[in-house]
Amino acid sequence: QKEVEQDPGPLSVPEGAIVSLNCTYSNSAFQYFMWYRQYSRKGPELLMYTYSSGNKEDGRFTAQVDKSSKYISLFIRDSQPSDSATYLCAMSAGQAGTALIFGKGTTLSVSS
C-alpha cells in the first residue's frame, strides 16, 4: 500500500459545480496536510495548509482533515474554468527537514 493514495481522475465538472477531491493515507504520524495546485509544466502552488484534524476555509476552498479515518478532502465551491489543473495532496510527519509525501494528483477540468 502506498503511503498516500489519490484518484488521478480525470474529473470533469461544469462551471459553478462543487468539486470534492480526496486523499487517503496510511502513516498515522502525518500531522501536516497540504493541497497544491499544479498547472501543466509548472511548479506546484500551495493552496491550503492544515495542521492535524479539522476544517480550514479560504475563499472558495475548504480543506478537511479526518485523522481518525486517515482521510483528507479539498472542496472547491462555484468552480471556475481557471480552476482546471492538477490538484496534489501532500503530507508530512513534521520532523525538521522532512520532505512532503505527495499523492499522484487529480486532474480537474471545469467547462464553461
Partner 1 sequence: GAVVSQHPSWVICKSGTSVKIECRSLDFQATTMFWYRQFPKQSLMLMATSNEGSKATYEQGVEKDKFLINHASLTLSTLTVTSAHPEDSSFYICSARAGNRVDEKLFFGSGTQLSVL
Residues 4 and 103: beta-carbon distance below 8 Å: yes
Site for partner 1 in 27-46 (CB under 8 A): 32, 34, 36, 41-46
| Site membership for partner 1, residue 61 (CB under 8 A) | no
Binding segment (CB under 8 A) for partner 1, from list 14-22, 58-66, 72-80, 96-104: 96-104
Please identify, using beta-carbon distances, which residue of 14 and 94 lies nearer to partner 1. Answer: 94
Q: How far is 95 from 111, CA to CA, in rounded Å? A: 41
Query: CA distances (Å), 46 to each of 26, 43, 87, 111, in order?
Result: 22, 10, 10, 23
Please identify, using beta-carbon distances, which residue of 13 and 100 lies nearer to partner 1. Answer: 100
